[in-house]
Amino acid sequence: MLFRFSPDSLRILAAYAAAVALFVIGAFVHPGFASFPSVTAILLVASFVGLVAAGQCFVILIGGIDLSVPWVLNAAAILLATSSLGQNSRALYAIALTLGMGALVGLANGIVIVWFAVPAVVMTLAMNGIVEGLALGLSGGMTCSACASYAPPVVAAAVHGVFLGVPAALWLWLVVIVVVSFVLSFTRFGRATYAIGNNPRAAFLAGVNVNLTTIFLYALSGLFSALAGILLVGFGGQASLGMGDPYLFQSIAAVVIGGVSILGGRGNYLGAAAGAVSLTALVSVLLALNMPEYGRSIIYGVVILALLLLYGREQRE
């Protein structure tokens, strides 16, 4: 053997193999599925899941979870549309405001989780409700006059615009993949993240500022949800209610399929990105097969379970 793979890198390889296998299956059932335009279109949809999964990956790596994804994403989309009013001149201000909102919500999650010892599941679940109530209430249930605004052309261009033959949003995702993987693998902050995920007490004794790191990671998760919300408005043109709902399930599934342990401390964003691609490719294959909604839902669950049984099992004690 030329290479020896650790179990963790095997999981990441498995996630990539699943993605490639799905494209091959897709090409068989639907000619043209694996053509370049089709693949980039699928990857573009996967990039939204992938960006949310970046934040989710951060908090899952420390054994937490972020259930506030759906409405942070949705509120970000509404905020971008209403604050930019579709004008390029206001785009920069709107993007800064929206990203700031996402980071602030994540910060609040982190602070309560750390300082009030509220379980992450409870805090982020409650935060999802809080953001939902504020987004619905302040926008009057999306009836406000600014709510119908379109995305500023620059934001739309940042998603659809083609650069070197590939949609701009994919380049953005690629940058995020490289940066996040680098940060997790080669920086002090990344080491601290894994240390907390493996054993918070040991990490604390080793000099890691556990509280600050945890708060920062939740803030990052909020930031990435908001970023995905901005890009989704650019992708679809307008904000709508409920647009964030699919992303909770998909972000967690992508992270877990990508070989990240839900208990924390193990895995990498490279795997989660592959998980996002696999999930989106799976849905695309099923759509190409004209599978009705219920069938997609069932097969989706079965495939996730199969992948988990294949390599997501805990060691026998």
Asked if residue 311 binds other proteins (CB under 8 A), the reply is no
Asked if residue 132 binds other proteins (CB under 8 A), the reply is yes
Closer CB to other proteins, 155 or 276, in the complex: 276
**Helices 36-61, 188-198: crossing angle, 10 deg rounding:** 60
Distance CA 75, CA 62 (A): 26
Query: What DSSP letter does each residue of 71-114 carry, written as one string?
Result: HHHHHHHHHHHHHHTT-GGGHHHHHHHHHHHHHHHHHHHHHHHH
Asked if residue 107 binds other proteins (CB under 8 A), the reply is no
Asked if residue 249 binds other proteins (CB under 8 A), the reply is yes
Asked if residue 201 binds other proteins (CB under 8 A), the reply is no
Asked if residue 31 binds other proteins (CB under 8 A), the reply is no
The one-letter code for the residue type at 197 is G
State the distance between the two ends of the chain, measured CA to CA, in whole angstroms.
Answer: 29
Distance CA 194, CA 214 (A): 11
Distance CA 116, CA 126 (A): 14
Closer CB to other proteins, 204 or 249, in the complex: 249
Question: Closest distance between other proteins and the C-beta of residue 196, in Å?
Answer: 17
Among 16, 171, 204, 300, binds other proteins (CB under 8 A): 300
Binding mask 259-298 toward other proteins (x if CB under 8 A, else -) reads ---xx-----------------------------xxxxxx
Question: Closest distance between other proteins and the C-beta of residue 42, in Å?
Answer: 20
Q: For residue 156, how many other CB atoms are within 10 A of its CB?
A: 18
To 10 degrees, the CA torsion angle through 146, 125, 211, 313? -120
Number of residues that bind other proteins (CB under 8 A): 48
Query: What DSSP letter does each residue of 240-276 carry, written as one string?
Result: -TTTTHHHHHHHHHHHHHTT--TTSS---HHHHHHHH
Q: Which stretch binds other proteins (CB under 8 A): 89-97, 120-128, 154-162, 267-275?
A: 120-128
Asked if residue 141 binds other proteins (CB under 8 A), the reply is yes
Asked if residue 228 binds other proteins (CB under 8 A), the reply is no
Question: Closest distance between other proteins and the C-beta of residue 182, in Å?
Answer: 27
Distance CA 224, CA 228 (A): 6
Question: Closest distance between other proteins and the C-beta of residue 40, in Å?
Answer: 27
Asked if residue 310 binds other proteins (CB under 8 A), the reply is no
Among 104, 107, 136, 154, binds other proteins (CB under 8 A): 136
Closer CB to other proteins, 157 or 241, in the complex: 241
To 10 degrees, the CA torsion angle through 188, 194, 198, 201? 30
Asked if residue 66 binds other proteins (CB under 8 A), the reply is no
Provide the binding-site residues for other proteins, judged by CB under 8 A. Answer: 65, 112, 116-119, 121-123, 125-134, 136-137, 140-141, 249, 252-253, 256, 262-263, 293-302, 304-305, 308-309, 312-314, 316-317
